[in-house]
Amino acid sequence: MEFLQDSIPMVYLAVAAFVLYARASSSLLRPGLPRLVALLPVFPVLASAPLAFSSSAILRGLAGFFLAWLCSFKVALFTVGRGPLDPALPLLPFLFTALLPVKLRPASNNKATAKSSFSLVSCTVKVAIIAAVVRLYEYNDQLHLYARLALYGVHTYCFLDLLLPCIAAAGGALGMEMEPQFDRPYLATSLRDFWGRRWNLMVSAILRPSVYEPVRARAGNAAAGVLATFLVSGLMHEAMVYYLSLRWPPNGEMAVFFVLHGVCCVAEEWFVRRWKARGCPSPPRAVATLLVWAFVVGTSFWLFFPALCKDGVEEKLLQGWAAVAAFFRDAGRKVALPCTINGVISDQK
């Protein structure tokens, strides 16, 4: 299939070699400037690796997220002796943590009581939803813009909430306990709850030590840390759009989306403190959740998804998903055919 023409193993082997180089440097160089200088060559490799997937916008986007964003930030934290990349980790968990959007659960946690985000039923439902959405894409030209954007939103959530827990489940099968990547974002009661505690927690876990905490400590207030975090997130999302579209310069809509949400999170915190100080009751949970989703969906339709519908990105993504669907249909037929033949032979016997 077209989307598998690029060599995923070769790209990841090359990147893994640089990550192992970074790990080896920890035994020779102390955290700080010496280690940073030694690891500078790693960052261009991580930034350029997604471009190796020339035939698939989907693979470029995923590699951009995994490598150019998360892995780069992990290595940057590693240069100062922080973050999830601990040189004391065994080789496989170190590579798994560096190259994939996962976070190891602290060893002190009780595995028996740890709640797994992987559910066979949940994954089956999400696969069915994705399959239905991909089928609806065949009628994309006939759908209203808002209907298309709604489909993209459902697809984005189901895909991420399927892919990331499956990666964590693979790590679990190798004996590694992972933190959950999502925590039912549809139950969020505030923007701070949505972004900080429920949606794509791997990004939050990286941005918190790399952006929020240093800026907060330097500026002396949390608001500056929040705004800086959302700004960096917006800029990295602009980079993800570049990997999808290969068009430069960016139009800035992604950055505006995240800066707007950062400003609203700060305003929300200010408003809630004064609301509680006056003894006013909190709104019912259902009402708060409805308001959060109205804002998230409204601003996504306004700024987030339109950025993915320009410069040919929409067409590339639709073609990519059609190729993925065709691949799995062909694979299913190849698996089903021998089973059918064996069944016929058994019946004849």
The tens digit of pLDDT for each residue in 295-342 reads 999 999 999 988 888 777 778 787 777 777 776 666 556 655 555 555
pLDDT of residue 40: 94
In terms of domains, do 126 and 220 share one? no
Per-residue burial over 210-227, b = 16 or more CB atoms within 10 Å of its CB, e = otherwise: bbbeebbeeeeeebbbbb
Element (H, E) at 288: helix 285-299
In terms of domains, do 206 and 223 share one? yes
- Among residues 258, 259, 227, 253, the alpha carbon closest in space to that of 241 is found at 253
Q: Is residue 289 part of a domain?
A: yes
Q: Is residue 142 part of a domain?
A: yes
Q: Is residue 336 part of a domain?
A: no
CA distance 233 to 320: 25
| For the chain, percent of residues with pLDDT exceeding 90 | 42
Backbone angles phi, psi at 178, to 5 degrees: -110, 150
Q: Is residue 240 part of a domain?
A: yes
Residue 118: how many other CB atoms lie within 10 Å: 17
**What is the arithmetic mean of pLDDT over 123-149?**
85
In terms of domains, do 202 and 290 share one? yes
Q: Is residue 345 part of a domain?
A: no
Q: Is residue 325 part of a domain?
A: no
CA distance 258 to 304: 9
In terms of domains, do 164 and 195 share one? no
Residue 120: how many other CB atoms lie within 10 Å: 8
Mean pLDDT, the chain, as a whole number?
A: 84
Q: Is the pLDDT of residue 22 over 80?
A: yes
Q: The tokens of 345 are what?
A: 């032979």
Q: Can you spell out the DSSP letters for 270-282?
A: HHHHHHHHTTPPP
Contact 49, 15 (CB under 8 A): yes
- Among residues 280, 266, 275, 61, the alpha carbon closest in space to that of 156 is found at 61
Contact 164, 101 (CB under 8 A): yes
Q: The tokens of 347 are what?
A: 């019946």
Q: Is residue 15 part of a domain?
A: yes
In terms of domains, do 194 and 273 share one? yes
Prior bond to 209 cis, omega within 30? Answer: no
Q: The tokens of 21 are what?
A: 């180089």
Counted domains in the chain: 3
pLDDT of residue 74: 96
| For the chain, percent of residues with pLDDT exceeding 70 | 87
Q: The tokens of 180 are what?
A: 């959950």
DSSP secondary structure code for residue 104 in this structure = B
pLDDT of residue 331: 59
Q: Is residue 215 part of a domain?
A: yes
* 58-63-64 Cα angle (round to 5): 95
In terms of domains, do 169 and 191 share one? no
Query: pLDDT confidence of 8, banded at 50, 70, 90?
Result: confident
Full domain range(s) for residue 54: 1-105
In terms of domains, do 230 and 246 share one? yes
In terms of domains, do 101 and 17 share one? yes
In terms of domains, do 137 and 247 share one? no
pLDDT of residue 26: 85
**What is the arithmetic mean of pLDDT over 207-230?**
95
Query: pLDDT confidence of 219, banded at 50, 70, 90?
Result: very high
Q: pLDDT tens-digit profile of 64-117?
A: 999 999 999 999 999 999 989 988 888 999 999 999 988 887 655 444 334 444
